[in-house]
Chains A and B, each alone.
Chain A
Amino acid sequence: MAEFRMPSLGADMEEATLVEWKVKPGDRVKSGDIIAEVETDKGIIEIEVFEDGMVEQILVQPGEKVAVGSVLAIIRSDAKPAAPAVEASKTAETKKVSTKSTTTDEKRIRISPLARNVAADLGVDLSTVKGTGPHGAINRLDVEQAAKKKEPAKKVPPAQTTESKPQKTDFQAGMRKAIALAMSRSNREIPHYYLETRIDMTNTLRWLEEQNQKRSIKERILPAVLLIKAVARALGDVPELNGYWIDDRHQPQEAVHIGFAISLRRGGLVTPAIHNADIMGLDEIMEALRDLIMRTRAGRLRSSEMTDSTITVTSLGDLGVEKVYGVIYPPQVALAGFGKIMEQPWAENGMLGIRQVMTATLAGDHRATDGHRGAQFLDAVSHYLKETAKL
């Protein structure tokens, strides 16, 4: 028997609200199954179970907010005999932060924050709106169309919408608080060092363009995929940067799970993991990244994607940023940042030319590694980006 606890979905998470159980007592589960959904400051996260067994008891109901580490359910492991139910309930201590009344018939409404605000402004009852977004999520257009059908000329004045306003404020405040906790801890605990290098991407982009010309639009690869793969390959050469600093000890990890920073338009960011990026092909990474971005923005991430990144990669080149000096996400020990690929003067072999140049940066944890290893890492990233056949 095992106590299935609310996982910590990042260094910055303290609590979450259980949204829905995907299983009921008596159901069999196997490792990797998604058994529940919880709502965190970073959206809805699907929680996976990591052992085979049978759900014996559910201890937290939808709508309850519980702290990280609280027991959510009892799962009888296939490997161990079952314990009496009474013992289970005795040992299962659930730290309920607060409880809001939710009936089992109540269905959760999936809705974008903007649409929620618009609904509040227009006085639209969300239970009457049919969503057309991902997974049936309600978007702003759905709300506006519902408002038109209902009462075309009459709008609820903003003064009457204060009841719904806190939801936006709560989410943004929650997200900021979560980021503040993690980043404050990072700056407090991690002695950062920074390195940067300029990389000539001219031939890399030419190669990518040639590859993409052979592909249909759905199969095209974006430059960010090359960056992720180059980092993954470089970590094979410099494994010390791939892992954690936990309990005053450097703990490099064998598996390479790249956390890719994805901004949310409603504010904040999430860094879900692309698992085993070192052994994935470029097509697989592109597909994984597309899936991850869509699910991040739709609020459909899985717990493992939130917890096991071994390094973070951030690219702000889309916005014209030339260099990124990142803050390491604890307990990781490194963050690789990439700026815009842009035409720059480039001197080589006594000649001056114009090349497509990108600046790559490394934020390293000086407790875990030194600048020398960091420099080797950036050199390896540069090498793999130029030697595209090795990606």
Chain B
Amino acid sequence: MTNEQIKGIIFKLLGKIAPEADFDALLPDENMRKALDIDSFDFLNLFIGLNDELGVEIPESDYGRLNTLTNIVDYISERLN
């Protein structure tokens, strides 16, 4: 799976979790929580969605370093490929 496909899945999930958020304007290395105004619950739901869609289980200890789109895409990509 390419990084673009992973990004597409992340955006699809965010579209359901936070339909009001304008994630098209999100920069790859921007702090997602602040840029999209999403909270811990939204973030957990994003990780649950990624687990459902891609089968990647993200341990809680890794939450802290998954703050940007780039970080999440790279993290998922490493575990898939």
Number of interface residues of B (CB under 8 A): 22
Asked if residues B16 and A290 are in contact (CB atoms below 8 Å), the reply is no
Q: How far is the CA of A209 from the CA of B39 in the complex (A)?
A: 19
Answer whether residue B20 sits at the interface, using C-beta atoms and an 8 A cutoff. Answer: yes
Q: How far is the CB of A22 from chain B (nearest CB, A)?
A: 24
B25-67 interface mask toward A, CB cutoff 8 Å, 1 = contact, 0 = none? 0000000010001011100110110010000011111000000
Asked if residues B60 and A318 are in contact (CB atoms below 8 Å), the reply is no
Contact of A216 among B33, B44, B57 (CB under 8 A): B57
Least CB separation from B56: chain A residue: A217
Q: How far is the CB of B46 from chain A (nearest CB, A)?
A: 11
Asked if residues B15 and A140 are in contact (CB atoms below 8 Å), the reply is yes
Asked if residues B21 and A265 are in contact (CB atoms below 8 Å), the reply is yes
Asked if residues B60 and A212 are in contact (CB atoms below 8 Å), the reply is yes
Answer whether residue A139 sits at the interface, using C-beta atoms and an 8 A cutoff. Answer: yes
Number of interface residues of A (CB under 8 A): 31
Known contacts A133-B16, A134-B16, A217-B58; A114 and B22 CB within 8 A of each other: yes
Answer whether residue B18 sits at the interface, using C-beta atoms and an 8 A cutoff. Answer: yes
Answer whether residue A218 sits at the interface, using C-beta atoms and an 8 A cutoff. Answer: yes
Q: Which residues of A contact B58 (CB under 8 A)?
A: 217
Asked if residues A318 and B39 are in contact (CB atoms below 8 Å), the reply is yes
Q: How far is the CB of B35 from chain A (nearest CB, A)?
A: 12
Contact of B20 among A113, A209, A224 (CB under 8 A): A113
A130-143 interface mask toward B, CB cutoff 8 Å, 1 = contact, 0 = none? 00111001011100
Q: Which of A115, A209, A217, A222 has most chain B Cβ within 10 Å?
A: A217
B2-28 interface mask toward A, CB cutoff 8 Å, 1 = contact, 0 = none? 000000000000011011111000000
Q: Which residues of B contact A264 (CB under 8 A)?
A: 20
A236-273 interface mask toward B, CB cutoff 8 Å, 1 = contact, 0 = none? 00000000000000000000000000011110000000
Q: Which residues of B contact A293 (CB under 8 A)?
A: 41
Answer whether residue A68 sits at the interface, using C-beta atoms and an 8 A cutoff. Answer: no
Answer whether residue A289 sits at the interface, using C-beta atoms and an 8 A cutoff. Answer: yes
Contact of A218 among B39, B48, B60 (CB under 8 A): B48
Known contacts A217-B47, A265-B37; A139 and B60 CB within 8 A of each other: no
Known contacts A113-B20, A114-B20, A217-B48; A139 and B15 CB within 8 A of each other: yes
Q: How far is the CA of A213 from the CA of B57 in the complex (A)?
A: 12
Q: How far is the CA of A209 from the CA of B20 in the complex (A)?
A: 31
**Contacts beyond the supplied A217-B58, A297-B19: 8 A-B pairs with Cβ under 8 Å:** A132-B16, A217-B48, A217-B51, A218-B51, A220-B60, A222-B41, A222-B44, A224-B41
Give 17 CB contacts A-B under 8 Å: A113-B20, A114-B21, A114-B22, A132-B16, A139-B19, A209-B61, A213-B59, A217-B47, A217-B48, A218-B51, A220-B60, A223-B40, A265-B20, A266-B20, A290-B45, A297-B19, A318-B39
